[in-house]
Amino acid sequence: MLIASAVLCQIALNLARPLISYKVLALGGDSVAVGLTSASFALLPVAIALWLGRMSDRRASMKGITLAGTLLLAAGPFLLSTAPSLLLVGVASAVLGIGHLCFTIAGQSAIARFVPLSRMDAAFGWFTAAFSLGQLVGPLLAGLAMGSAGNAPADARLMDANTALLLAGAISMLAIPVALGSSVKDRAPAREAADAPTPQKSPSKSVAHLLGIPTVKTNMLASLALLATTDIIVAFLPLLGEERGIAPVGIGVLLAIRAAASISSRLLLPVMLSRWSRTGLITASLAGAGATLAILPWVFSNPLPAAVLLAIVGFFLGLGQPITMTLITQAVPPESRGAALALRLLGNRLGQVALPISAGLLAAPAGPGGALWMSAAVLCAASIRWPRKPKA
């Protein structure tokens, strides 16, 4: 039920997010406005991420947080469809961000609490694969809704975007009854006793203590770089398409190819972990995605090479996220797992605020390709900082 509700919510979210860029352009915004709007998706969640993580550690059931996230993910697209100005588009984008944060923290905390450590990589892999499936279907629907004509008039773009946003809200509403049955109230009896959290007896560790754990810090950096890059691709690929005369439906297909590749890497994760270490796979994820993304703007006008490169980028981007969740979960005491995963999400959100704004400012003089080059540099820098000889 958790995976099913994740698929529906992520289809709606990833249908809405590319449409935000088109709506910003239709309302007269530029690349800076796109960057600021993308950052607003993460800005408000920064303030409540740790609080939500602590709450998830204290609650016996994740149902309330999951349902709250689903309701906000349903409200966001409806607000976006009626927003008449760039300011209100940013506010509605923030509502989407809070809903996404609630749902993600609830899902990750449920897996960290109920799944044995020996099966955690696979569980996080399936959970994040559900997100990638939404990232595959959502942009395809967005592209179809926006049509096959490149450089269409602003009024037509605005009307198409508003109609498609209503569809996104309807899809999120379908997830509400599913989310109601997606959480377990009592801890699974098969869970190893050593893994069972006891928040009533053992207080959750402070943020300073969690950040003092090297594994937490390095995984936060890796996760931040991977997720912020995914956001920048979703936000700035439509701008690059408008610049190169590629119709929205073509951009939707390219974004779907990227997501499909991420699904494949996440489902293949148990097989790859049987041959390579988690640290080696994260290093490959960061460096591979960074090197490939740096090439993309040069060949983007040619659909076939662009599709191949986005498939490679997607495979590497999808590989690292579930591993960072497992490593952080294993590195902290059981009673602090929800807070630690929330701290990871806080780092992600800070990256989702700072990097899209920086990308938007860079795209103003350098074009949308500059945003992708900046992301490639961040990924490569994160791979260099990763420790090469982790503790056994």
What pLDDT shows up at residue 242? Answer: 81
Does residue 302 sit in helix, strand or coil? coil
Question: How does residue 308 score in pLDDT terms, banded at 50, 70 and 90?
Answer: very high
Residue 252 corresponds to which tokens in the numbers above? 């939707």
Does residue 204 sit in helix, strand or coil? coil
**Domains defined along the chain, listed by start:** 2-182+207-385 (1.20.1250.20)
Q: How many CA atoms lie within 13 A of 199 on its CB side?
A: 17
**Considering just the CA atoms, what is the radius of gyration of the chain in Å?**
20
What's the pTM?
A: 0.69
What pLDDT shows up at residue 217? Answer: 80
pLDDT tens digits for range 90-113: 899 889 988 888 888 888 878 877
Higher pLDDT, 222 or 189: 222
